[in-house]
Amino acid sequence: MKTIGLIGGMSWESTAVYYRLLNEQVRERLGGLHSAKCIVYSVDFAQIERLQTAGRWDEAGDVLADAARSLQAAGADLLLICTNTMHKVADQVAAAVGIPLLHLADASAAVVRTAGLRRVGLLGTAFTMEQDFYRDRLAGHGLTVLVPDVDDRAVVHKVIYEELCLGIVREESRAAYAEVISRLVASGAQGIILGCTEIELLIGPEHSPVPVFATTRLHAEAAVTAALAPGQ
């Protein structure tokens, strides 16, 4: 089994979910007392959030690149960035190391395509919904990506940073997200990508009239597949 390096802490709430999912996946596939070989580098999210808000992405990328180098030095064989938004600096992180970085959007898009869908709604932070680094990556897999309107984007973003990243799960916010999803479906979305790792704390398949794609779970599944693959 290869060792999975996790660049986490953004937020730690979702990184904890990654850790659980990786271990559940390994146990499910190998049985018995098997668990995932993994190393976690957890950054201070307050520092990253300040850099995000200020648009200082290169500096944020430097922080994650340092984390990646530390994980490689500690023995990681492959890397995950445990947040959708910070895949904005994925190329910068990948260039800092000599081990593979499994891109979250690639893992998610592959499952969407396998499900036979081509037109998806995207929920995430404002950075993920409004900038092209994530939408273009999905489009590169042949997907048409729809995002909520400006008011709905503001609601989705606020709930992530002011509630979910703090471990707060409110029924009122779940209802608000369900309304956003309904409007995306009315616009033609055949499925919904939960493009922020914390959203899975709030929204499940039962809250959407179309399939939802939980990116944290899909990323973890892809990582375990890679970790258990034979050869180097």
Residues designated catalytic: 83, 196
Contact (Cβ atoms closer than 8 angstroms) between residue 209 and residue 182 = yes
Q: What is the CA radius of gyration of the chain?
A: 17
CA–CA distance, 200 with 83 (Å, rounded to integer)? 12
In terms of Cα–Cα distance, which of 54, 53, 51 is closest to 62? 51
> For residue 124, which phi and psi values (nearest 5 degrees)?
180, -165
> For residue 105, which phi and psi values (nearest 5 degrees)?
-65, -35
Contacts of 112 (CB under 8 A, 6+ apart): 120, 141, 143, 191, 193, 213
**What sign has the CA pseudo-torsion 209, 129, 20, 226?**
positive
